[in-house]
């Protein structure tokens, strides 16, 4: 049995020889950034792969979230001096809520569904006020939100929808990309994701005009060589990471297939384990198996989630309590609207019981077998 350390996730690496070849080409072109050849190629090929028309690359996954609020002009609907509210989830990575804060807007937390970990549409509508300017749902672990119900709510109340789709690379619903819903969707290409460019991200929109504005905004606000139309930021992806991403795109399908094998193995071997449950899969969804979360009922399982976490660590298996703590427990957001435990029972329940098991393209079945045995014998 392989006794090496096993991690919750691991980067997808292209062949070193292949990467050396593209590095040589970049050096020959003498063009390192500012919308170069590899940047353009990656935008084109990612758009084709994901089934979207308009995609803009960013240097990480947080900046497109921040930019999303700017390009949708959410402040225009507010009275002078009024602060807008964005309805979102505390069961996510903290960058979700940081993007709201950096835009001088206020997060309003609503609870999630216990079965999916995604925002509960029933809770969304109840949280809408005269200051609400947008809904910001998260496709948790790559599992799609109830996009059709959220769309109906947004249309009814004339609200924008910004999807945090950091985990949802390549996910489809009945053959349609999950990125087709909402006004914009943001992807992360961080090294821990199913597909990565080392660090990186993208913002997906639905019109050429909006893409042009996004592209200008990520380049300091320049609309031409000597014209700056608005206060932008510098968040362009460079040629080195773009080339890395192009090579990784060639192997992402096999990576997802390998992840599926691990996920299927975990499900088969852990089904029926008392005190342990999985999230519900949605019919018609093509998953990317970004994570494999399980939830521990300590009263039945016989061990707390944290005790299991430490047990795995002692055996060289580095799982992750993801997402824990909930965002509402972090200092900047403890007093945010809707942050209390009584308002977020499912959020706190999931956060305090979740543990994500190792799953990545290079994980062997023998490694997954070792994980399963330790969980079964942990008690």
| pLDDT per residue as tens digits for the range 331-355 | 999 999 999 999 999 999 999 999 9
- Contact call for residues 96 and 136 (beta carbons, < 8 A): yes
Please identify which residue in the block is written with the tokens 């992806």. 237
Please identify which residue in the block is written with the tokens 């939830």. 295
3-state helix, strand, coil split of the chain in percent (to 5) is: 40, 20, 40
Q: Peptide bond preceding 325: is omega within 30 degrees of 0, i.e. cis?
A: yes
Give, in order, the Cα–Cα distances in Å from 351 to each of 90, 95, 326.
10, 17, 6
pLDDT in tens, 155-185: 999 999 999 999 999 999 999 999 999 999 9
Mean pLDDT, the chain, as a whole number? Answer: 96
Other C-beta atoms lying within 10 Å of the C-beta of residue 233 = 16
Query: What pairing do the DSSP bridges indicate for beta strands 160-164 and 184-188?
Result: parallel
- Measured CA to CA, the distance from residue 97 to residue 105 in angstroms comes to 10
* Kind and range of the H or E run holding 317: strand 317-318
- Measured CA to CA, the distance from residue 292 to residue 68 in angstroms comes to 29
- Contact call for residues 309 and 319 (beta carbons, < 8 A): yes
- Contact call for residues 65 and 96 (beta carbons, < 8 A): yes
73-88 average pLDDT score: 87
Pick from 201-205, 221-225, 343-347: least confident: 221-225
241-257 average pLDDT score: 98
- Contact call for residues 49 and 248 (beta carbons, < 8 A): no
* Kind and range of the H or E run holding 168: none
- DSSP β-bridge partners for residue 187: 202
- Measured CA to CA, the distance from residue 59 to residue 192 in angstroms comes to 15
The pLDDT, as a whole number, for residue 77 is 75
Maximum pairwise Cα distance, the chain: 67
Apex 67 CA angle, 159 and 220, nearest 5: 140
Q: Which residues contact 130 (CB under 8 A, 6 or more apart)?
A: none
Please identify which residue in the block is written with the tokens 């050396």. 20
Structure token pair of residue 346 = 């499912």
- Contact call for residues 56 and 214 (beta carbons, < 8 A): yes
Structure token pair of residue 83 = 């602060």
pTM (two decimals): 0.96
SS3 for 356?
strand
The pLDDT, as a whole number, for residue 1 is 40
Res 108 pLDDT > 90: yes
- Contact call for residues 378 and 303 (beta carbons, < 8 A): yes
| Residue spans per domain, the chain | 6-11+251-377, 16-249
pLDDT in tens, 83-93: 999 999 999 99
- Domain 16-249 fold: 3.40.640
Please identify which residue in the block is written with the tokens 């198996």. 289
**CATH classification number, 6-11+251-377, choose in 3.30.230.10, 3.30.70.520, 3.90.1150.10, 3.40.50.1820:** 3.90.1150.10
The pLDDT, as a whole number, for residue 3 is 62
């Amino acid at each position: 049995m392989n006794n090496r350390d096993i991690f919750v996730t691991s980067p997808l690496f292209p062949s070193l020889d292949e990467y050396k070849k593209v590095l040589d080409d970049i050096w020959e072109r003498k063009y390192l950034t500012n919308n170069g050849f590899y940047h353009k190629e990656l935008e084109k090929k990612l758009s084709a792969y994901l089934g979207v028309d308009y995609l803009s690359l960013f240097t990480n996954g947080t900046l497109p979230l921040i930019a999303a609020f700017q390009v949708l002009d959410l402040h225009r609907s507010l009275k002078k001096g009024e602060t807008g509210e964005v309805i979102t989830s505390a069961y996510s990575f903290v960058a979700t809520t940081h993007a709201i804060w950096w835009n001088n807007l206020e997060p309003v937390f609503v609870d999630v569904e216990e079965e999916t970990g995604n925002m509960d549409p029933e809770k969304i509508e109840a949280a809408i006020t005269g200051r609400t300017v947008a809904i910001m749902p998260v496709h948790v672990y790559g599992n799609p939100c109830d996009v059709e119900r959220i769309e109906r709510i947004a249309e009814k109340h004339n609200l924008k929808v910004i999807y945090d789709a950091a985990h949802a690379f390549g996910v489809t619903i009945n053959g349609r990309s999950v990125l087709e819903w909402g006004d914009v969707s943001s992807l992360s290409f961080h090294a821990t994701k199913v597909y990565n460019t080392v660090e990186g991200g993208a913002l997906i929109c639905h019109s050429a005009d909006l893409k042009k504005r996004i592209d200008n905004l990520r380049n300091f606000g320049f609309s031409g060589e000597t014209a700056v139309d608005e206060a932008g930021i510098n968040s362009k992806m460079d040629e080195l990471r773009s080339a890395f991403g192009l090579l990784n795109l060639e192997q992402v399908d096999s990576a997802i297939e390998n992840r599926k094998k691990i996920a299927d193995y975990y499900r088969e071997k852990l089904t029926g384990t008392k005190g342990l449950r999985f999230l519900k899969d949605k019919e018609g969804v093509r998953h990317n198996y970004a994570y494999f979360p399980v939830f521990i009922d300590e009263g039945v399982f016989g061990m707390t989630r944290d005790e299991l976490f430490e047990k795995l660590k002692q055996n060289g298996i580095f799982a992750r309590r993801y997402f824990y703590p909930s965002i509402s427990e972090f200092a900047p957001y403890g007093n945010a609207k809707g942050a209390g435990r009584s308002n977020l029972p499912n959020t706190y329940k999931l956060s305090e019981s979740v543990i994500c098991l190792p799953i990545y393209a290079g994980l062997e079945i023998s490694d997954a077998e070792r994980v399963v045995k330790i969980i079964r014998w942990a008690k």
